[in-house]
Structure 1
Amino acid sequence: MKVYTKTGDKGTTALIGGTRVAKNNVRLEAYGGVDELNSHLGMIRSYPIAAEHVEQLIEIQNVLFVVGANLATDTTVSNMQKKLPCTDEDVAFLERAIDKMDEELPPLQYFVLPGGRPEVSACHIARTVCRRVERRIIDMSEEIEVEDAIVRYVNRLSDYLFVLGRKLAKDCGLEEVKWVPRS
């Protein structure tokens, strides 16, 4: 099988189920963003971080493939969404991971400036991409039904990435830089 098919050379692509849509369709913005986010998570895994976080990120990346497949499915011609659901348990997985990391962190009493080390910065970049993806999924949901669990999952994932950035900063002894508004 060749990587290129030439079927998209005129600006269209096929959804799961075969329906062709324009490459700037709201669905593609949504699941293309999920793909971009997944790549950022792969970047975070490339840093020297604890095995526990690597395992969590792999689990999350697998769920993001499910989310992308759901967003890319034309439910009028395919039942792929029923075969690969994003579930409340997927959301609970993120919540448990957040709670566990949060137990080891000082209470957040101020806004934190992103940065300090590459792995921490990568978490903050992924968090902002995740927020954009969430907005594109909401855009899509105004035209096409999107499972509630997907919206909750992506929302919780941005929280996870924020807390992961804080945890990685703490693990490497990096002091968080708080945002101080100008007076």
Structure 2
Amino acid sequence: MKIYTKGGDAGQTQVYVDKAIRLSKDDALLECYGSLDELNAHMGLLRSMLPESDSNAEADGITQVQRKLFVIGFVISAHGKVVEEDLTALEAQIDTWQEELVPQRHFILPGGCPPAAQAHVCRTVARRAERVMVALSHQHDVPPLCLKYLNRLSDWLFVLARRLNQMAKVADQVL
């Protein structure tokens, strides 16, 4: 199969909702897909920065999030399922990590060790993807759980950044 089809050369592309349709490449649905794809790519970069080991819960969590981002893309266009357990899994991990972190008393500047800094980039891209999805929800059916997942994901990424700094023995930079 060729990677290029030339079908999108005129600024439209085919997507699959209940049936295949052609949309302008600046359609809100494609903007949302693009934001999710960008977030997924940044998550992959973050994952590549973590050490390889058999018991790397952080890397495993990132891989799970990457898979869920693909599912969310399917959910907003046609078929797929995001379930409440996806949200509660993020919340449980946030709670576990926060118990191990020094309590936060100040605003934290993005940065620290390279993986933590990349987690902050992921967090900001997740926030933008959420805003794009909210805009899409004004003209397209977007399950509320997808929005909740992206909202919680940005919190998860913030706490992950703090955890990665702690693991690297790098102090959070505060205001």
User: For the superposition of Structure 1 and Structure 2, which TM-score range results when normalised by the shorter chain?
Assistant: over 0.9
TM-score by length of 2: 0.94
Determine the structure 2 residue equivalent to 1:118. 114
Between the aligned partners of 1:48 and 1:105, the Cα distance in structure 2 is 19
Residue 14 of structure 1 deviates from its aligned partner by: 1.1
Output one character per residue of 1:36-68: Cα deviation in whole Å (capped at 9) or x when no partner: 000111111111347101111111111100011
Between the aligned partners of 1:92 and 1:36, the Cα distance in structure 2 is 24
More strand by share: 2
Determine the structure 1 residue equivalent to 2:14. 14
Between the aligned partners of 2:50 and 2:118, the Cα distance in structure 1 is 13
Query: Structure 1: any 5+ residue segments left out of the alignment?
Result: 74-79
> Which one of the candidate residues 35, 41, 52 is aligned to 2:57?
52
Report if aligned partners of 2:32, 2:136 keep a CA contact under 8 Å in 1: yes
Between the aligned partners of 2:21 and 2:67, the Cα distance in structure 1 is 25
> Which one of the candidate residues 78, 86, 93 is aligned to 2:89?
93
Between the aligned partners of 1:65 and 1:155, the Cα distance in structure 2 is 16
Determine the structure 2 residue equivalent to 1:134. 130
Residue 96 of structure 1 deviates from its aligned partner by: 0.9
Paired amino acid for 2:167: D
Between the aligned partners of 2:48 and 2:94, the Cα distance in structure 1 is 21
Report if aligned partners of 2:113, 2:164 keep a CA contact under 8 Å in 1: no
The residue correspondences of 1:28-177 to structure 2 (distance < 5 A) are 28-49=30-51, 51-71=56-76, 73=77, 80-81=78-79, 84-177=80-173
Question: Percent same amino acid among aligned pairs?
Answer: 39
Between the aligned partners of 2:11 and 2:152, the Cα distance in structure 1 is 33
Moved more, 120-129 or 108-117: 108-117
Output one character per residue of 1:19-50: Cα deviation in whole Å (capped at 9) or x when no partner: 11100000111111001000111111111347
Between the aligned partners of 1:31 and 1:101, the Cα distance in structure 2 is 30
Aligned pairs, number: 170
Between the aligned partners of 1:21 and 1:10, the Cα distance in structure 2 is 11
Q: Which stretches of structure 1, 4 residues or more, deviate above 2 A after TM superposition? A: none
Query: Structure 2: any 5+ residue segments left out of the alignment?
Result: none
Match of 2:110, SS state, is coil
Match of 2:170, SS state, is coil
Between the aligned partners of 2:46 and 2:31, the Cα distance in structure 1 is 23
Report if aligned partners of 2:35, 2:125 keep a CA contact under 8 Å in 1: yes
Paired amino acid for 2:35: G
TM-score by length of 1: 0.90
Paired amino acid for 1:155: N
